[in-house]
Every structure is written in C-alpha cells, then in structure tokens.
Amino acid sequence: MTGTAWTSWPSKEALRPEDVSRPRRLLTLAVRVLVFGMLLWGAFTSSHLHGWGAVAAAGGLLAAVCGARAFFRTTLAHRLWPSLALVALLLGVAAAAQPFGFRVPALVIFCGCAVVALERMPLAAALPVTALALVCYALVNDDAWLTTVATATGLVLVGYVLRLDAEARGNAHRLLAQERAARAAEAESAALGERARIAREIHDVLAHSLSAQLVHLEAARLLIERDADRQQILDRVVAARGMARDGLAETRQALSALRGELTPLEDFLAHLVDATGSVAEVTITGERRALPAEASQAVRRVAQEALTNARKHAPGAAVRVRLDYGTREVMLDVRDSGGPPGELTAVGGGYGLLGMRERAELLGGSLRAGPDEEGFVVTLKVPV
C-alpha cells in the first residue's frame, strides 16, 4: 500500500449524502435510528437512572449525538484534527458512561467509533482510533475472549468494506463526471465543426456570386453614366442576373448538402456535365458507396470548378472525368485536351482552385492542378 493510500481521505463525493442512492440513504437512516434506539434503551433502562443520574444520562446521550453529527461533517470536509478531537470526545463519553452502569451505550459507542473511523478517515489515523476503540470494547465487554475477538474482527471488516464501497462510489462518481465533461466537450467541438462547415459553404457559394454580381452591376452603372450603348448595359445586367441565378441554385444545393440531402455522386457528375455543356466522358471505378458529407462536398466543388475552368479556358475541348472509389480514399481526376498551359492556375470559375485546395487539406487530402502533356489536369484525393 502506497503512502498516498495511507494518508488519503475517501472522496467527498463518496461521503456526501446527496450523492448516495435513495435505497442506500434509507438503509443508512435505518442503521442510525437503530443505533440511537439502542443508546436510548441502554441509557433509560439502567437501574442508576434517577436524580442526577438521569440528567447525566441525558447529557451524555446529547453529547454523543452532537459529537457523532459533527464528526460526520468534519470528515466530509476532510478536517483531520477536529475529527480526531470529536472521536476522542465520543470515546470519552463512552468511557465515562461505563462505570455508572451504562454498559450498553458504551459498547455501542465503542463499536460505532471503530467502524466509522475506518470508513471515513485516512488509514494512518483510522487504524489507531479503531484499535483504541476495540481495546476499550474488549475491556468493557464481559463475553468470552473468542467471541470478543470475533466481534472485533467483524467490526474491522465491516468498517473496511464500507470504506472500499465509499471509494468505489467516489471513483464511479468521478468517472461519470469526466464522461459528462467529455461528452459536453465533444458536443461543443461538433457544433463548432458544423459551424465552420456551414461558414465554408456560405463563403464558397455566396462570396464569388455576390462579388461577380457587384462587378457587373458597377460596370452597368458606369456605362449608364457615360451614356454607353444600350446593348452593352443590357449585357452587363443580363450577366449579373445569370450570376444571381447560378448563385441561388448553388445556395439551394449547399443547403441540401447541409441537410444531408445529397444526390449520388455519379448522378451529380452526369448532371454537371450536361449543365456545363462540356464534351465530357465520365468514368466511375471502384466499389461505389456513400461518402461522408465533407468528402462528398469537396468532390462536387472541385468537379464544378474544373469543368467550369475547362469551359472558360478550353471551349470545345474534350474532357475526361474519372471518379475512383479506393479502399481508403476517393480520387477525382478531371482532364481536358486543350487550352494554353498555366492559364487555369489562377482563381476562377465560381470558387477558385485555391479554395478547393484549402478544403482538401482540411480533410487531410490533396489537390493538384496544372498542365499536362495534352492540356490541363485537376486531381483531388480525399481520405474516406
């Protein structure tokens, strides 16, 4: 047994009454009522109970009850010296009661001190107190020595079992508190992660759309101020309207993704190819399965960005889209067959490859974009 075990108190959670289950509280109350009844019976059935003897019995009983109550409070507060003083008071009351014929109350107090000292005090202090209480019990008790030894051994075992039970309840209470704290921290972390995901979706969808609309509308305003051609102004307004329409569609799609209402990736890619008007070949390899929301959104965003860039910078070029479901990662590869090298490395097409690269890195993946032998290639790898 370590030094800490000898000097440590049972935890306050184990000793605090309100942290004990209702059946256990009722059992504890029944034991205390029984002990108090034995004290009353032993005190007021004595032949010495008359005159000043009755006053002394009442005073001793009151002192024992008040001392026991104070002892429970001081041990709950882990105050060693007051606890020792109160145990000494109780043993003194019992020792003073025995010569005046109050043998039963003295025996009850000696036994009670032996048990509660082991249950509620550090072992380094409890063992001497228990030994002293049991020695006093043996001196007062007139049973056979074997019966006295057996009773004393039983009292020690009862006290130590109660102590182990208190320590087990204290450990269970601490573990439960730690588990609740961990769950609260996990819930908070999940909420923060979800907020960050929503913020990224809003930024990805709205930031470019609104800024592009602002550019076109500002251009239209300048054209109006300069009395420019009506068709030029109309082209700017129509472009802004198109940006607003596309932004609204993307916002609805992002909200559906946040709700978990995502269409299968294969259907999304086929619809995306049709919507962008690209001459694209879509190939799906590997075992098809549902992906986590973040990974699925990353694949969709990169596919949108790559196809939009291909349409802008290499119109009419053939595009090959390959989605590979690997064992530990999903890979999206978009290649076009034309366009000036390096033109697509800039941000463009709705979200920007830089933002997509940041999204991939947040998920522990990677995004590579650059020219190859034929045209331009965008490759996304995301662990799943």
| pLDDT tens for the chain, residues 1 to 384 | 555 778 888 877 767 765 556 666 666 666 666 665 655 555 555 545 555 555 666 677 778 788 888 988 898 888 889 999 999 988 888 888 777 777 777 878 888 888 888 888 888 899 999 999 999 888 888 778 888 888 888 888 988 888 888 788 778 878 888 888 888 888 888 777 767 767 776 666 676 677 778 888 888 888 888 888 888 888 888 888 887 887 777 777 666 666 665 678 888 888 777 766 666 788 999 888 888 877 888 888 888 888 877 877 777 788 889 999 988 899 999 988 865 444 334 334 445 677 778 778 888 899 998 887 778 899 999 998
The pLDDT of residue 341 is 43
The pLDDT of residue 25 is 64
* Cα separation, 209 vs 214, whole angstroms: 9
Give the three-state DSSP class for 325.
strand
Eight-state DSSP code of residue 11: P
**pTM for this entry:** 0.48
* Helix extents (H) in 277-320: 293-313
Q: In sequence order, what are the residues at sequence separation of 6 or more whose Cβ sits closer than 8 angstroms to the Cβ of residue 97?
A: 43, 57, 60, 105, 106, 109
Q: Strand order in 366-371's β-sheet?
A: 279-286, 318-325, 329-336, 376-383, 366-371
Q: Count how many Cα atoms sit within 13 Å of the Cα of residue 176 in the half-sphere of its side chain.
A: 9
Listing DSSP states for 113-126 in one string gives HHHHHHHHS-HHHH
The pLDDT of residue 346 is 39
Q: What share of the chain is helix, strand, coil (3-state, %, to 5)?
A: 70, 10, 20
Domains and CATH numbers, the chain: 3-142 (no CATH), 263-384 (3.30.565.10)
Q: What is the 3-state secondary structure (H, E, C) of 137-185?
A: HHHHCCCCHHHHHHHHHHHHHHHHHHHHHHHHHHHHHHHHHHHHHHHHH
